[in-house]
Amino acid sequence: MVIDDSRAMRMILKRIVAKLNFDAVEAGDGQEALDLLATMTEVPELALIDWNMPNMNGLEFVTKVRAEPRLREMTLVMVTTESEQSQIVRALAAGAHEYVIKPFTEGAMIEKLALLGLVPTGANS
């Protein structure tokens, strides 16, 4: 699942995960993502989440997902321009598994996902 209010960024992230054989669904903010998850019988394995979005931001989304037992197996990766150490700590404390700072290269993103065990190590090469 790709959650970002920028359609351009959603397209980039979808391109990357498609190369890793993920079927991605997308949402433009945290609330839209929660609404979409409520309709899904199968919970996505991975969510790539922007921080600054209208309606519901990424941090609020992470907090809500972590409070929902049905969604606890989702791997949550923040993908954001929020690069201050304090913000990274907040996101990880709320339940995000990893943190990717924009701008990122395709290779850097794949490496992060490999570290999480979501793609084979070396998928980048």
Q: Which residues bind other proteins (CB under 8 A)?
A: 5-9, 11-12, 15, 52, 54, 80-84, 86, 101-106
101: left (phi over 0), alpha (psi -120 to 50) or beta: beta
As given in the structure block, the two tokens for residue 102 are 């924009």
Which residue number, 66 or 102, has a Cβ lying nearer to other proteins? 102
The least CB distance from residue 88 to other proteins, in Å, is 10
The least CB distance from residue 53 to other proteins, in Å, is 8
Which residue number, 21 or 85, has a Cβ lying nearer to other proteins? 85
Cα(59)–Cα(103) distance, integer angstroms: 19
Q: How many residues does the chain have?
A: 125
Asked, as a colleague might, if the bond just before 69 is cis with ω within 30 of 0, I would say: no
The least CB distance from residue 23 to other proteins, in Å, is 19
Contact between residue 52 and residue 80 where contact means Cβ atoms under 8 Å apart = yes
* DSSP at 73: T
The least CB distance from residue 111 to other proteins, in Å, is 14
Which residue number, 37 or 48, has a Cβ lying nearer to other proteins? 48
Cα(23)–Cα(42) distance, integer angstroms: 12
Which residue number, 88 or 116, has a Cβ lying nearer to other proteins? 88
